Structure 1
């Protein structure tokens, strides 16, 4: 079933985000897992706006897996794909992928490199709801 704006299963939203060092929470410049969940909320909000003209609400996660660390200095790609359309609910597949990572040295404190291949850091599936 298509949504109000004619979007349906397969619609994808992609955000990119730099992880600032001020968000490091643990040794080794690690950020906490909640950081990925916040990004999932942001990309899911845009999905709801694109497909339904409303910010919607995140109702639940049915699965979240932390596969690789996210560190300060990373550049992340956050992907949301619409996989199911109900009357008011939308099923989403989500991922956080590290596409670049900082690699500072005393000589080059801003050194960084694109990762090839990128690292899948976090995956999830969830449900959002929108007004009828």
Structure 2
């Protein structure tokens, strides 16, 4: 049985304040740069670029270009082995600009108790807000 081909379509929804995108991600140990398996803050910023890109594709049919951050806050560490949720939400829609709020939440983390085994991990309830930011993306004018 063959898989039907899917042809891409332009964005199906107009950009509306409140729209959002969430990605889930595991942080590989290859991204640890510091003692304690800490990951640098740029890792979160790259993830914000990913969710912003998907949100722009969904609303404008274009990946958009990140123009600026107006605020970035690193609130808790991100470590190799963490499971993350990365969120983007539209907070302002201009004719070509899209202002978004971003969050990185740590939803699971390796256990600190070595007696449980080297691969033991815990779901974090509630998740830990590690990074938040606000930024602006620019999209091309409508055709």
TM-score grouping bracket, smaller chain normalisation: over 0.9
| Residues 92-101 or 104-113, more deviating | 104-113
- Residue 81 (structure 2) pairs with residue 73 (structure 1): yes
Give the CA RMSD over aligned residues.
Answer: 1.5
TM-score with structure 1 setting the length = 0.94
- Greater Rg by CA: 2
- Indicate how the Cα distance of structure 1 residues 65 and 25 shifts in structure 2: closer, same or farther if over 3 A, else same: same
Cα deviations by residue, 1:46-66 (Å, 9 ceiling, x for unpaired): 010000000000000000000
How many pairs align? 130
Equivalence for 1:44: 52
Runs (4+) off by over 2 Å: 3-7, 104-107
Give the secondary structure class of the aligned counterpart of 1:55.
coil
Q: Which runs of 5+ in 2 are unaligned?
A: 1-10
Give the alignment's TM-score, normalised by structure 2. 0.87
The verdict on how the C-alpha distance between 1:58 and 1:83 changes in structure 2, with shifts beyond 3 A counting, is same
Q: CA deviation at 1:7?
A: 3.4
Check if 1:27 corresponds to 2:35: yes
C-alpha distance after superposition, 1:60-101 (max 9, x if no partner): 000000000000010000000001000100000000000000
Runs of 5+ consecutive residues of structure 1 not aligned to the other structure: none
